[in-house]
Amino acid sequence: MDKPKITQAMIDAYDEYTHLTLDRRDFMRKLQLLAGSAGAAAAIAPLIGASAAQAEIIAPDDDRLETATTTYRGAPGEISAYIAAPKDRPGKLPTVIVIHENRGLNDHIRDVTRRMALEGFLAIAPDLLSPSGGTPANEDQAREDISKLDQPMTTSNLMAAMAFLKTHPRSTGAIGAVGFCWGGKQVNLLAAAAPELKAAVAYYGAQQPPVEDVPKIKAALLLHYAGLDDRINKGIDAFKQALDADKKDFQIFIYDGVNHAFNNDTSAARYDKKAADLAWSRTVEFLKQKLV
């Protein structure tokens, strides 16, 4: 059977469903209209969404890595986190906090954390849904739970991760952060809240903090955006002007012709390997330069 044709309008509808006001039923109704039939919509929906079956590039038991689930003190209680480090790099390592999308800490983000560890970092991915009981298996529930999180508490829990890493026996104390989608926004907010953060990488993250808080940012910034991501990209100009005005250390890259979440290789329709590979190479090089 031929692969279903996926249009930009279908991808935009999915973005509206996962980030704005469209619920699952209305998304499928809209997708059916765009696809021409209920059967075609049912075939297309999994291609646009994320597939847990495709979540692994680096196996969880890869013998090059040491991995574990750990906890650190946060608010209002313990925060669970996934941590990974390379076995062939004894001693202390520069450290990267990996901040998940609005789906929570899932297998894809654990996989990204392992990829980061293989680049020579101590990598940790907090489950920022820990205050509400942890990331649920159901993605719709995870998105709903994330929408209810208290933002100051979330930022506080990321700063608590930094405090935990400052004294971790494998950490040099040089800490950066990389976040995706909702996590990209959290990276930007963390950069304004934590002057000791040395490097911040945001993939298609909303431009936060407010421009008046930009002077608080001390970290070097690397900002990746998708060319077709109109919802997020409308905030780039004002953010860039504020960063320029305060003479911040930042780089902005816009990847033409690709969609929001282009780095997420579990989404067949939105993933773009060329853009993802280029952005990843820039991210790794940037973190290695800044976390010294």
**100 catalytic, yes or no?**
no
Quote the CA–CA distance of 43 and 57 in Å, as a whole number: 24
Q: How many CB atoms lie within 10 A of CB 15?
A: 21
**260 catalytic, yes or no?**
yes
Taking a C-beta distance cutoff of 8 angstroms, is the pair 169, 87 a contact? no
Tell me which residue of 81, 86, 87 sits closest to 100, measured CA to CA.
Answer: 81
Q: 181, 224, 265, 272: which one is catalytic?
A: 181
Quote the CA–CA distance of 234 and 263 in Å, as a whole number: 20
Taking a C-beta distance cutoff of 8 angstroms, is the pair 167, 189 a contact? no
Quote the CA–CA distance of 252 and 239 in Å, as a whole number: 11
**229 catalytic, yes or no?**
yes
**Three-state SS for 39?**
helix
- If you ran DSSP here, which 8-state letter would residue 234 be given? T
Calculate ∠ Cα 59-60-62, nearest 5°: 60
Q: 108, 168, 224, 260: which one is catalytic?
A: 260
Tell me which residue of 7, 192, 186 sits closest to 97, measured CA to CA.
Answer: 186
Active site residues: 181, 229, 260
